[in-house]
Structure 1
Amino acid sequence: MTNPEIPAGTWTIDPSHSEVGFSVRHLMVSKVKGNFETFEGTITIAEDPLASSVTAEVDLSSINTRDEGRDGHLKSADFFEVENHPKLTFTSTSVEPSGSDFKVTGDLTIKGTTKSVVLDLEFNGVHPDPWGGTRAGFSAETEISRKEFGVDFEIPMDGGGVVVGDKIKVILEVEAVLAS
């Protein structure tokens, strides 16, 4: 593994050019996708990239699955209980090489429950922007069990299975701006 060519410093996630998305099985036959529209985060790149860190916060009330009724249900006590737990947070604890990519381990907190998760991270490069700044891109994925975070609403189906699956695939596309 070679060190990525990314300048050390503090990078701010640009929400208008980033996405926090997810997919989950529905009725055991398809996947429903959605995203969170409001989030923020900071990436601190160290001189040794493996000593870098990231923190992020997601406003759970900004969930968008393209169905207002479903989004309202996801915000309720059956799922995220946003009235009492409005934010999802992530704080990295380590960065390790993984072939030409990286594994970022961190503490994910949902509904007051914190678990360690591993993000498979791809560094997509650095480029100057038209406004005199510098931007970096990252793609990351992980899979979590919603039940492990206390999001354990179940509706069994006739013949077996459940309406909403337990495994949630989290998909991140991040563009960050180097602080000047």
Structure 2
Amino acid sequence: MSATATIPGYTAGRWDIDPANSAVTFTVRHMLVNTMHGRFNVFAGEVVTRENPLESTVAAAIETSSIDSNDRERDEHLRAPEYLDVSAHPLMSYRSTALREDADGYVLDGELTLKGMSRQVPLWLEPGGILAPDPIGKTRMGIAATGSIDRADFGLSSELLDMPLIGGLLVSRRVEIRIDIEATLAR
């Protein structure tokens, strides 16, 4: 079966990410007792779908200063030079390098650049569907992506974050990522 047969309504084209209907979120374990949720509120990007879906690409940029963990003091701390260093690195970016099928669906291989460090970060995709036309005449696509990073790989470590507790760290090194994208077909 072809890849296009598994994505109902698949359409090749250039798609603009709609930030008003999308989310870039993350979670980390906090003190081994809870999962802390956060998000980045300002981002932009595009998806280019090809006739062969496996040749499709994604590029996105996220403003690091838009971090929102629901705690103003913590967010200011995370914007500081020892963490996100938003004054020196106002953007993080993701650029796909390949799209492949695996046993569970699709995996987007790509390079995440954060604090001037680039690392390969695969994202597992869950197509949400394509609506054409929507009530205002646009063609819309939805897709979710999940993955994870080790925050230390991007220099996001400190004595405080890495304070040992019995059974782990104050803040887990593993950061789980979830991206929910709604994009509109550019005309």
Equivalent residue for 1:151? 156
Q: Note the 1:130-141 alignment, pairs <5 A.
A: 130-141=135-146
Equivalent residue for 1:29? 33
Equivalent residue for 2:47, pick from 18, 21, 43: 43
Structure-1-length-normalised TM-score: 0.95
Equivalent residue for 1:173? 180
Q: Note the 1:31-110 alignment, pairs <5 A.
A: 31-99=35-103, 101-110=105-114
CA distance in 2, matches of 1:146, 1:100: 26
Q: Provide closer, same or farther for how the CA distance between residues 160 and 77 of structure 1 changes in structure 2, counting only shifts above 3 A.
A: farther
The question of 1:163 aligning with 2:170 is answered yes
Aligned-partner residue type, residue 153 of structure 1? S
Q: Unmatched 5+ residue regions in structure 1?
A: none
Which SS does the other structure have where 2:172 is aligned?
strand
CA distance in 1, matches of 2:60, 2:158: 26
Q: Provide closer, same or farther for how the CA distance between residues 154 and 28 of structure 1 changes in structure 2, counting only shifts above 3 A.
A: farther
Aligned-partner residue type, residue 184 of structure 2? V
CA distance in 1, matches of 2:165, 2:146: 32
Offset at 1:159?
4.4
CA distance in 1, matches of 2:40, 2:11: 28
Offset at 1:79?
1.0
On the 8 A contact 1:143/1:170 being kept in 2, the answer is yes
Alignment length, in residue pairs? 180
Equivalent residue for 1:20? 24
Q: Unmatched 5+ residue regions in structure 2?
A: none
Comparing 156-165 and 2-11, the one that deviates more:
156-165
Q: Provide closer, same or farther for how the CA distance between residues 99 and 159 of structure 1 changes in structure 2, counting only shifts above 3 A.
A: closer
Q: Provide closer, same or farther for how the CA distance between residues 158 and 174 of structure 1 changes in structure 2, counting only shifts above 3 A.
A: closer
On the 8 A contact 1:36/1:58 being kept in 2, the answer is yes
Equivalent residue for 2:128, pick from 120, 124, 147: 124
Equivalent residue for 1:142? 147
Aligned-partner residue type, residue 122 of structure 2? V
On the 8 A contact 1:145/1:167 being kept in 2, the answer is yes
**Cα-Cα RMSD:** 1.3
Runs of 4+ in 1 over 2 A off after TM superposition: 98-101, 157-162
Q: Provide closer, same or farther for how the CA distance between residues 111 and 19 of structure 1 changes in structure 2, counting only shifts above 3 A.
A: same
Equivalent residue for 1:112? 116
